[in-house]
């Protein structure tokens, strides 16, 4: 005997099954995003290199002035120094050159700029340079069948470093392109602070007495902000106007 399946219209007992939209997966190449990470990381390294080069060049200028040959010799002598050694020498020269010597508020500004800004940035640069990077190349995208496109979630890179003294000695840190860009901007801002600090302390370049301008003290240009455990250095709000009056607009 042949059994026939009754039609829904004949029996009224078969219910329609709701359709489930099919989704297909594809791998999307992240060339643009990867290039963005490489650009941001490279920018940070260049900004940091410029920061160290400035500290080295200011020390050379303070020692030998405008003698180009002597400057080249100083650069050769300093060329193999690590960033921390360059920074140590820079701040030592600034302290020794200050005339009159730093008062207590200026000592606090110098210490904060040295420890909380420069030394901290050197440590972070070492992580950026020597840590293990993972920058994604492909991302899995799931989208409804027939759809033309379904934008993938923004990829996130990971930076890993070994910290033997930590409870979790190897913990990857997720980083976006925007976050890495802020690091480059931070170093750019720090270089501007150091540029002014170095010239004020050593009386060189814009603050050379030969320009016939009244000397500027560190406390005239900078101030401490933040709590005792999170202090930072910034320009005083009125310092830009003072520079304009001196013909030194930045």
Helices (H), 166-229: 177-202, 218-221
Q: Which tokens is 225 given?
A: 């902000």
pLDDT tens string 59-94: 999 999 989 999 999 999 998 999 999 999 999 999
pLDDT band at 163 (very low <50, low <70, confident <90, very high): confident
CB atoms inside a 10 Å sphere around CB 39: 14
Is the bond leading into 100 cis (omega within 30 degrees of zero)?
Answer: yes
The least confident of 18-32, 76-90, 140-154, 215-229 is: 140-154
Beta carbons of 152 and 28 less than 8 angstroms apart: yes
**pLDDT value of position 31:** 87
Q: Residue 151 above 80 pLDDT?
A: no
Q: What's the rounded mean pLDDT across residues 177-205? A: 97
pLDDT tens string 42-55: 999 999 999 999 99
Q: For residue 145, give the nearest of 25, 27, 19 by alpha carbon.
A: 25
Q: Residue 26 above 70 pLDDT?
A: no
């Amino acid at each position: 005997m042949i059994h026939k399946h009754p039609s829904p219209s004949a029996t009224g007992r078969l219910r329609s099954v709701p359709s489930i939209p099919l989704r297909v997966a594809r791998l999307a190449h992240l060339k643009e995003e990867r290039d963005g990470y490489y650009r941001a990381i490279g920018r940070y390294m260049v900004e940091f290199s410029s920061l160290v080069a400035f500290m080295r060049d200011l020390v050379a200028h303070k020692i030998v002035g405008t003698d180009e040959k002597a400057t080249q010799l100083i650069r050769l002598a300093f060329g193999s120094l690590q960033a921390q050694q360059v920074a140590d020498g820079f701040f030592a020269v600034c302290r020794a050159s200050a005339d009159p010597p730093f008062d207590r508020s200026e000592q606090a500004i110098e210490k904060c700029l040295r420890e909380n800004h420069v030394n901290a940035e050197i440590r972070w640069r070492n992580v950026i340079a020597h840590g293990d990077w993972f920058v994604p190349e492909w991302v899995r995208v799931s989208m409804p069948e027939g759809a033309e496109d379904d934008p993938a979630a923004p990829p996130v890179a990971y930076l890993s470093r070994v910290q033997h003294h930590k409870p979790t000695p190897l913990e990857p840190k997720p980083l976006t392109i925007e976050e890495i860009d802020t690091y480059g901007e931070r170093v750019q801002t720090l270089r501007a602070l150091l540029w002014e600090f170095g010239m004020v302390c050593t009386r060189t370049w814009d603050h050379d007495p030969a320009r016939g301008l009244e000397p500027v003290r560190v406390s005239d240009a900078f101030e401490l902000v933040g709590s005792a455990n999170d202090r930072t250095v910034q320009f005083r709000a009125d310092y830009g106007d003072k520079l304009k009056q001196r013909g030194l607009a930045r």
